Structure 1
Amino acid sequence: MRLIAHRGFAAVAPENTVAAVRAAADRADAVEFDVRRCGSGELVVIHDDTIDRVTEGTGRVVDCPLEELQRYTVLDADETIPTLAEVLEALPPDVNVNLELKDEDIAADVLETLADADVPNRVVLTSFLISELRRVRDLEPSQPTGLLVSRDQRRPVTTAVELGCAVVGAHSRRCLLTRLVPRAKAVGLEVHAWSVPGPTVARILGWRGVDYVSSDRPLSV
């Protein structure tokens, strides 16, 4: 079982920043970060649809041009909201990547940015948005994708297979309390579990058959 640094270990670093990703790469097998489109069209790395929680500014990401976004610092650190290209450039080559598509209609530009960056890392494009996963499959069938399972998602394993996904990701409780993990493993899907609070739960998930656990802090797994 392997460890994913959720947003670059958000509990101990300014989440979704270049510094967080670089630091997490030394302590995890994979880093996870979130991608949206900002008001001037660029792809930026930020989780929320507004900047209110993580910066001193206010407003929706989709309404803010990049120049404005990068005037703010993230969580009182000496870091700004980065572009996707900047994060990809900062990645050490030996860490895997989970890149979550947070907006609709960004799949094509994400694929183009990945092609331009030519990173050697294994990159899995994940999303709750079935339309975006379908778009990735249609544009670049060889690109690994992962379905993130929402609370009300029915038949997630079947949906992931229909979308051609390599990965299915779900909350740790769902991985522990339902048949999702054995069903996913039976059809060859890699399983990722998120919101893992500590090493004990991580080990139980590993025994259950989970391949990667995602945490906001470093864990000894």
Structure 2
Amino acid sequence: MTKIFAHRGSAGTHPENTMIAFYEAERVEADGIELDVQMTKDGALVVIHDETIDRTTDGTGWVKDFIYKELQQFNAVYKFAEQYDFCRIPLLEEVLQWIEPTELLLNIELKNGLIEYKKLEEKVIDMVRHYHLEHRVVLSSFNHNSMALCHRLAPEIETAILYMKSLCQPWKYMRAIGASGLHPYHGTVTESFVRQAHDHRVAVRPFTINKAGLMKKMFQYQVDAIFTDYPSKAKQLLNNQKTT
């Protein structure tokens, strides 16, 4: 059965990559949460998608140029300012501490395609191990060198490659770097592709699936999971499909 990952939390209804977005994902019974990790000037692992804080907060500047204490002053309510007063940029550790006693899965996307954060892989892996979440976490990135490194450092933690354009027999490529999951842009996903991937025992989890028609198509293809900004809608559609 296809699993539902709440993309940046319930990002369609709550401020993305904030604790309230993650709480909402749990409330609507998503199977897992997807989030993004960057690193601050003082080495803190923070949950934010962009390399800058310009889009999702009331501040400006590069995440890498702030210490975490400075980042705490910015409001990350994004486009939901009329609904919420103030949301902090959370620490990855804060999320892991919260998620550990739950049954939620977690996809951690390392945002190191533009900026090469030193020791990002090691720090994320150490933290995942500290909270004993090795078998509930998937590490992913558009930086495939990073995923190869993660596999060497922690072969017990699943890694997945993110990509935008069709790849020729990606299961061969991903095996070469130790990955076991494909996280493709949904436009590259066909039913035959999913079937071939499964024949090679490869998980397929496309992003970002927000429209009902596309959700139904992905469920029909029997993808392993989808990433969606609207986990509540996806769960309802999936449950309806199971009862018909």
TM above 0.5, one fold? yes
Change (3 A) 1:121 1:20: farther
SS state of the match for residue 23, structure 2?
Answer: helix
Q: Choose 1 or 2 for highest CA Rg.
A: 2
- Select which of 95, 111, 118 maps to 2:104: 95
Give how far 1:149 is off.
Answer: 1.6
> Aligned pair 1:67/2:69, yes or no?
yes
Residues 190-209 of structure 1 aligned to structure 2 (within 5 Å): 190-209=203-222
Root-mean-square deviation over aligned CA pairs: 1.8
Distance 2:98 2:15 in 1: 15
Deviates more, 1:89-98 or 1:37-46: 89-98
| Structure 1: runs of 5+ lacking an equivalent | none
Match of 1:79 in 2: 87
CA distance in 1, matches of 2:138, 2:66: 27
Question: Matched residues, percent identical?
Answer: 30
Structure 1 residue 98: Cα displacement: 0.7
Distance 1:38 1:151 in 2: 31
Aligned to 2:50: 48
**TM-score scaled by length of structure 1:** 0.92
Give the SS at the match of 1:137. helix
- Does structure 1 retain, via aligned residues, the 8 Å contact 2:148–2:177? yes
Moved runs in structure 1, 4+ residues, more than 3 A?
A: 152-155
TM-score normalised to structure 2 length:
0.84
Q: Give the aligned partner of residue 199 of structure 2.
A: 186
Partner of 1:126: 140
Q: Which residue of 2 aligns with 1:20?
A: 21
CA distance in 2, matches of 1:201, 1:85: 33
